[in-house]
Chain A
């Protein structure tokens, strides 16, 4: 029973990592950039939700959708201003720019809204359901279900729409995609919008779950989500989802065993072991380089 309980906790935490990891993996798949600012877009989403609920008294679902739209716009703006001028530069340079954007968002928000944590409004009354010794809150169910619905939607967009097809084409070969008339810049903007919208949704949901937000909240989940994306095989959408759930479960399991101080060490340890066994992640295919 205890195991089942931890499984539920792990899955709801893991689905947040998975949502964030999807954003990392899509951006990586299309422009090979580790978008360090992604965790901070998630923070902005949480803050936007906070202001929408507190100032305009919108419901939870409205706040969620407004946050997703807001983050999508932020993602496109960041890409346009900071990453697009560096399209032909070495990747490590774009990476440093992404770190700069991340610093800017964190410190800008700390400067404007103070760095102290604030309570996230309870837009939804927390219920706990008891099934025997199991205890599940409605927020946990909501996080899990919303995440899975969003992931299915994402998969549909990528597999069934013209834009999704363009995204896949650009990630395979940007030049060839351009030759057959795909607007590469628009496609990249669209990818950022999609990834950032998912991060916004994750931000609002984590606000509701942990009940506290601050300008630096995106740092650690951002890095963990990136680890999740690498673990599953970066650039692969099912891999990101799998990696997120694995990391959520490992963290909860280590904590439940009473080693909470070593929680992060266990995550990184598993990452290193998996990378040594499968250098391209769990679902990644190792491509042999031909000479």
Chain B
């Protein structure tokens, strides 16, 4: 614990510095309403994509149903905050959404995670579509029109804090004993099993964890955009999250941050192009994948510890 205190303190400092910087930029006027909007959407996408990266990149299970869990979080938060439009209501709604997403992920995960590769992808996609269709047909969710006029309880500060918190939780989970078990399942399921690792348990654990973080992203989405409809959480949304994960580099959290930021900024810049926007966006996507097939950062991970050790080594060599 004490050994890592220095690095943890540095990380904390970086996080606080980021928050202060954005605040200052906002005060000076470099970040206007439009840019802030982009910033919040990037933040929500980071939360969604880190969860999916845990499932795809670290446990090696190909899930195409992330938007389903996002929808559960969004609807839970929306319904609760409609009744209790306060910060407390948002917290309560998010927690309910996370629990709901966790339970649903458990129910979906236990049978389907026996499947492999593309079969799993298509089964999770089907499960997410079933969630969406149920939302379309329920009375309480107001059917295909969705819920609107929700209180705007999420702002960029809250999104920023939740990005930091979910990232810390996810990264710590990966570096824990359980996290290493999950990595071993990705590397070789049979070898992991022969070492006495309950592979099903850890695959489901990663799936549930990822689903719960997706619910946080969904709750923020609902209370920032203020309008949600079942069609916001279709296959396309799952694919958009998948694109962030693959473009950043599968299994690289730093890459997820970079890709979410890049795509968010690309989206903002292309707003001016009108109808041509999506054409340019898809061209950029194809070209990035062809020229950087390992993703923007591959499996490279930014690490304060390594940076620190390197500078220390250099200083020693210099002396």
Contact = CB atoms under 8 A, between A and B. Distances in A.
B111 interface: yes
A284 B62 CA distance: 20
Contacts of A90: 250, 293
Interface string A277-291: 001110000000101
Interface string B278-317: 1101110110011001110000000000000000000000
A198 interface: no
A89 B293 contact: yes
Contact of A99 (B62, B119, B239): B239
A280 B121 CA distance: 13
Contact of B286 (A104, A223, A279): A104
B127 interface: yes
A281 B122 CA distance: 12
B275 A110 contact: yes
Contact of B126 (A28, A111, A268): A268
The dominant DSSP class at the B interface is helix
Interface string B127-156: 101100110110000000000000000000
A276 B120 CA distance: 10
A104 B123 CA distance: 26
Contacts of A103: 278, 281-282, 285
Contacts of B127: 268, 272
B112 A275 contact: yes
A243 to B, nearest CB: 11
Interface stretch (B76-84, B87-95, B241-249): B241-249
A92 B62 contact: yes
A226 B283 contact: no
A226 B122 contact: yes
Nearest to A281: B119
A131 interface: no
Interface residues of A, number: 43
A108 interface: yes
Contacts of B168: none
Contact of A264 (B62, B133, B281, B293): B133
A92 B186 CA distance: 15
Nearest to B286: A100
A241 interface: no
Nearest to B242: A96
B289 A234 contact: no
Contact of B283 (A86, A104, A264, A280): A104
Contacts of B278: 103, 106-107, 110-111
Given A230-B122, A265-B134, A97 B286 contact: yes
A86 B289 contact: yes
Of B130, B190, B242, B276, which is in contact with the most chain A CB atoms at under 10 Å from its CB? B130
Contacts of B116: 279
B133 A262 contact: yes
A32 to B, nearest CB: 8
A213 interface: no
Contacts, number: 119
B129 A101 contact: no
A82 B290 CA distance: 7
Interface in A141-170: none
A255 to B, nearest CB: 14
A227 interface: yes
A261 B278 CA distance: 30
Interface in A232-285: 234, 261-262, 264-265, 267-269, 271-272, 275-276, 279-281
A73 B246 CA distance: 29
A95 B282 CA distance: 13
Contact of A96 (B118, B137, B285): B285
B268 interface: no
A85 interface: yes
B118 A234 contact: yes
A17 to B, nearest CB: 15
Given A223-B125, A234-B119, 12 more contacts: A34-B118, A89-B293, A93-B293, A93-B295, A110-B275, A264-B133, A265-B133, A271-B122, A271-B126, A275-B115, A279-B115, A279-B119
6 contacts: A110-B275, A111-B278, A262-B133, A268-B127, A272-B123, A276-B112
Interface of B: 56, 62, 111-112, 114-116, 118-119, 121-123, 125-127, 129-130, 133-134, 136-137, 190, 194, 235, 239, 242-243, 246-247, 250, 275-276, 278-279, 281-283, 285-286, 289-290, 293-295
In the A-B complex, list the 7 residue pairs whose CB atoms are closest, starting with the nearest: A268-B126, A103-B282, A107-B278, A100-B285, A104-B282, A100-B286, A89-B293
